[in-house]
Amino acid sequence: MVDQGFRIPTKKSLVVRKVRDVTQKQRERAQAATEYNVFSFPAELLVVDYLSDSGTTAMTDRQWAALMYGDESYGRNTGYFVLLEAFRDIFERGDARRKTVDLILRNERDVDKLMDELLLVDVEGGFVNGGRFQLMRPNAFIVPQGRCAEHLLFTTLRKVLTEHFPGSEYWIPSNGHFDTTEANIHSNDIHPVNLFSGDIFSEFPVEEIRDVNPFKGDMDIRRLVKLIDEKGAESVPLIYLTITNNTAAGQPVSMRNMREVREVADRYGIPLFFDACRFAENAYFIKEFEEGYEGSSIPEIVREMFIHCDGFSISFKKDGLANMGGGLFFKDRGVFHRRFSVDADVGVLLKEMQILSFGNDSYGGLSGRDIMALTIGLYEVVEEDYLRDRIEQVRDMAEKLALNGVPVVLPPGGHAVYVDIDRFFEGTDVRIEDFGGVGLTLELIRRYGIRGCELGPFAFEWDKKTPEERKGILNFVRFAVPRNVYNVEHINYTVAALTELHRNRERIPKVEIVRGKELRLRHFQTGLRPVYS
């Protein structure tokens, strides 16, 4: 036994990548050559990269081994079958999983058994129809990443709405739409609405981050009901719940909130969809902090979470699942299916769009190798020791920063530490239109080779929005921690760098946009200039 306070290690590294030795001068040259655009800075020249936790996970040895079983056939590759079974196991079966991927990994020789248990199984009634039912009523769609699932969903929805209910206006409320979700909804002429629970910035004592959690990612139920009553249920095609709530500082959503949103959705006959990007991390928070779930296993919590939704879109680049992949699912003959299958089955429409845009339904733009790695990843991310390590690493980083006086959102969420930029620059002359958060990210790269990501007035285009729309913009710099990649040295280096910059914050440059101010998704595209005073 070891003293309390130490965590027993749960993993070790067997492959190592060296970090390049780059000078501040060299980084300055690279910044100037890439117009000070943070997304354009070459990753090769960084020490630590927190730009995203998406697709940046280090895969496990078992995932690498599974790649060798990848089947690249064009029609019904083997991975398709084991992946659909893994979806059913993880999202529907809780502890009663079947894990039929083992039939392939152990090279099952009994062909009848393979056909009966894996290749020729007819399944219906859940999120993942199988065999003939997936042909008759398709409801599970594999795509290259999360935004492709959003694109499929909202373009198809738009088509059905325009054909059958022309001229009406539509709203899709969420506890916090991610930027690609918001953009996909917008570009189909539907209004995305964020209903954050009001208390993301409320004070939270750092000493309590391991004891209690207020689930700041929840949706504001009162405002949800008000919106539906004002607009009418027929003008709200879907309700979305993002778990965890990336836009609201990565905060988790409670089971209680899922249940309450579901009750509202049922009352008005509106389908509830999850943006399930970090479902496993969310489940861990429920186990840790929500009353009644201490004794439940993570798979059982996940199963209960998904009972509440009628469908979900997901990016498999999150949650340590895989480096690539996304999906769209809805309940067979559920609310969504019934409401939007007017002349044609909405699943058939979605499948046609999937084949047109991404590839046929058995690979959806992924390689057979990706599919195998994802299948294994689905089982690994619901393991409790993995999740504990993951969440605690992010928590340690937030705690160290808070104790050094750097204003971070507390308690921290599951995948990232969010620095509160309004408080960071308190006492200086930095105004919102000076893009202080961007200045901070530029200075972190220049001096320390650390990349974070502004999610605030620059990324969300504060200067182009109405006073009403501006209310929905929070002001953060996010440090998203890739899974299984960094260790305590990286975290300590980052904490030291951020603390030093916070103490010298009057030296952080203001930022001007010099090219592409009007571009959409401009954080990927514009040229900037740091202005040192």
Between strands 48-49 and 510-515, the pairing is unpaired
Q: Judged by CB under 6 A, does residue 322 bind ligand F0G?
A: no
Tokens of 103: 């039939």
Residue 184 half-sphere exposure, CB side, CA atoms within 13 Å? 18
**Least Å from the CB of residue 419 to ligand F0G:** 16
The CB-nearest residue to ligand F0G is 146
Closer to ligand F0G by Cβ: residue 146 or 252: 146
Is residue 175 within 8 Å of residue 217, measured between CB atoms?
A: yes
Tokens of 58: 């280090």
User: Which residue stretch of 9-17, 122-130, 174-182, 510-518 sits at the interface with ligand F0G (rule: CB under 6 A)?
Assistant: 174-182
Closer to ligand F0G by Cβ: residue 80 or 178: 178
Residue 274 half-sphere exposure, CB side, CA atoms within 13 Å? 33
CA angle 426, 432, 438 (to 5 degrees): 90
**Least Å from the CB of residue 384 to ligand F0G:** 23
Three-state secondary structure along 199-230? CCCCCCCHHHCCCCCCCCCCECHHHHHHHHHH
Closer to ligand F0G by Cβ: residue 129 or 194: 194
**Which listed residue (317, 351, 400, 523) binds ligand F0G by CB under 6 A?**
317
**Which listed residue (31, 37, 52, 63) binds ligand F0G by CB under 6 A?**
52
**Least Å from the CB of residue 322 to ligand F0G:** 10
Closer to ligand F0G by Cβ: residue 145 or 213: 145
Closer to ligand F0G by Cβ: residue 35 or 179: 179
**Least Å from the CB of residue 257 to ligand F0G:** 16
**Least Å from the CB of residue 243 to ligand F0G:** 8
Closer to ligand F0G by Cβ: residue 410 or 453: 453
CA angle 18, 23, 26 (to 5 degrees): 110
Q: Judged by CB under 6 A, does residue 287 bind ligand F0G?
A: no
Closer to ligand F0G by Cβ: residue 194 or 296: 194
Give the x-and-dash track for 177-216 against ligand F0G (CB under 6 A).
-x-xx-----------------------------------
Q: Judged by CB under 6 A, does residue 315 bind ligand F0G?
A: yes
| Interface with ligand F0G in residues 471-530 (CB under 6 A) | 480
| H or E element in which residue 368 lies | helix 368-380
Closer to ligand F0G by Cβ: residue 57 or 181: 181
Give the x-and-dash track for 123-162 against ligand F0G (CB under 6 A).
----------------------xxx---------------
**Least Å from the CB of residue 191 to ligand F0G:** 18
Tokens of 124: 């219906």
Give the x-and-dash track for 54-73 against ligand F0G (CB under 6 A).
x-------------------
Is residue 322 within 8 Å of residue 370, measured between CB atoms?
A: yes
Residue 248's φ and ψ, nearest 5 degrees, are -95, 60
The C-alpha atoms of residue 273 and residue 264 are separated, in whole angstroms, by: 13
The C-alpha atoms of residue 435 and residue 459 are separated, in whole angstroms, by: 10
Q: How many residues bind ligand F0G (CB under 6 A)?
A: 16
467 preceded by a cis bond (ω within 30 of 0):
no
Is the torsion defined by CA of 285, 327, 200, 192 positive or negative?
A: negative
Residue 93 half-sphere exposure, CB side, CA atoms within 13 Å? 16
Tokens of 478: 């996010």
180 preceded by a cis bond (ω within 30 of 0):
no
**Least Å from the CB of residue 397 to ligand F0G:** 17
Q: Judged by CB under 6 A, does residue 326 bind ligand F0G?
A: yes
The C-alpha atoms of residue 313 and residue 153 are separated, in whole angstroms, by: 8
Q: Judged by CB under 6 A, does residue 319 bind ligand F0G?
A: no
Between strands 171-174 and 191-194, the pairing is parallel
Is residue 376 within 8 Å of residue 102, measured between CB atoms?
A: no
The C-alpha atoms of residue 219 and residue 196 are separated, in whole angstroms, by: 6
| Interface with ligand F0G in residues 244-273 (CB under 6 A) | 246
Give the x-and-dash track for 449-468 against ligand F0G (CB under 6 A).
--------------------
Is residue 280 within 8 Å of residue 242, measured between CB atoms?
A: no
**Least Å from the CB of residue 40 to ligand F0G:** 16
**Which listed residue (37, 134, 184, 242) binds ligand F0G by CB under 6 A?**
242
**Least Å from the CB of residue 232 to ligand F0G:** 27
Tell me the one-letter amino acid at 468.
E
Q: What is the contact surface with ligand F0G in residues (CB under 6 A)?
A: 52, 54, 145-147, 178, 180-181, 242, 246, 275, 277, 315, 317, 326, 480
